[in-house]
Amino acid sequence: MDDELFKRTVATILKQIATLNRNLIELRVAVNVLKVSVAALASPSDPKAALTAFQTQEQKILDSSQDFQEGKQFSEIAELLENWKPGQES
């Protein structure tokens, strides 16, 4: 693979990662709106406590999730790829 093709390929991958990142941000916002709504419904007298309880449960699930661990690894790889320059030793 020549350098020009490699550069175009990396640029395409980075654009796709940026698009995925924007979509992920939108999804996170939507999920946060749902969390706040559910917390208000679950405990109208103390929605903040309900939200805290949900967040604690969410963190327990994330900590035990293989998908979450693999996602963290992907993020690390994507960051390395973003910062990599041709001819650069790893």
For residues 35 and 54, the answer to whether their CB atoms sit within 8 Å is yes
pLDDT band at residue 87 using 50, 70 and 90 as cut-offs: low
Q: What is the pLDDT of residue 25?
A: 95
Mean pLDDT of 11-35: 93
Q: Give 24-70 pLDDT, tens digit per residue.
A: 999 999 999 999 999 999 999 999 999 999 999 988 888 888 877 77
Greater model confidence, 31 or 79: 31
Mean pLDDT of 71-85: 77
Greater model confidence, 3 or 25: 25
Mean pLDDT of 12-18: 91
Task: Give buried/exposed letters for 46-76 (b at 16+ CB in 10 A, else e).
Answer: ebeebbeeeeeeeeeeeeeeeeeeeeeeeee
Which residues make Cβ contacts (< 8 Å) with residue 1, sequence separation at least 6?
A: 9
The domain ranges of the chain are: 3-83
DSSP 60: H
Supply 42's token pair: 């679950």
Phi-psi region of 44 (alpha: psi -120 to 50; beta: other; left: phi over 0): alpha
d(CA 17, CA 59): 25
